Amino acid sequence: CQILNDRGFKLASKWAAEQWMGLPSVDLHKLPPCSIHPDYVDFKPQSPVYCYAKTLMDLAEYAHAAAVLSQSSPNVANVESMPPPLPDLDPAAFGLRAYALYMAGEQRKEEEFQERNEANINDANNPNHDKDIGVSGLGVARNPYLLQLVSELGDAYKNTNASMLNPDNSNNMSFASNIDPQLDAFGLYVYGMVLSAAREQKIALP
């Protein structure tokens, strides 16, 4: 539950807590040793920039949270795009930034929908409005950051796959030492969310 909450997945954390409540008590010392590769067990303290971004996520300041974990490029940041991620982000921070950027886009999408809905109501109440033209004709509200996320997470997915395979032996599922994975399980979950939303918006997928 704590890990899910730390990554910003509030509903998933609630669900996990509900399931935990229904489980019998277990003696952790009797459980078998962890079989997860140590590179994917992240219990180390998080950096101040991650903690700051997480607090912004908790306050629903999604765009601000994503910006904290992005490079400083004022000329790049706008309503359609965000500067690239900070270099050397660990998988937790990389995933949090992607999730924050996705949620910022969904927040903007909801605001855009409300704006267009109000415009449609005003059009309908305007006696000079030609009903044959239809409503304001601004198109469908969309998540403006999806295209960027598809590209960034697609590249990260390729790097993660490369890190999981030893380049010297493609049949050996050992970890390459020269490439660090960018996506952990939570990052892959966000990537799945992004791909699903991109299909709905008919965005070309890699």
24-76 pLDDT, tens digit per residue, is 776 656 656 654 445 444 445 568 888 888 888 888 999 999 999 999 875 55
* 186 to 19, 86, 193: CA distances (angstroms): 19, 18, 11
In the numeric block, which tokens belong to residue 126? 């305007």
User: Position of tokens 């509900």?
Assistant: 18
Question: φ, ψ for residue 78 (rounded to 5)?
Answer: -160, -170
Q: Please give the residue that has the higher pLDDT: either 75 or 91.
A: 91
pLDDT the model gives residue 136: 47
140, pLDDT greater than 60: yes
Q: Please give the residue that has the higher pLDDT: either 37 or 1.
A: 1
Contact 100, 66 (CB under 8 A): yes
Section 177-197 average pLDDT: 84
CB environment 128-160: b (16+ within 10 A), e (fewer) = eeeeeeeebeeeebbbbbbbbbbebbeebbeeb
Q: Helix axis angle, 146-164 relative to 185-200, nearest 10°? A: 140
Contact 42, 184 (CB under 8 A): yes
Q: How far apart are CA 49 and CA 43, in angstroms?
A: 17
Section 164-188 average pLDDT: 62
In the numeric block, which tokens belong to residue 179? 């490439």
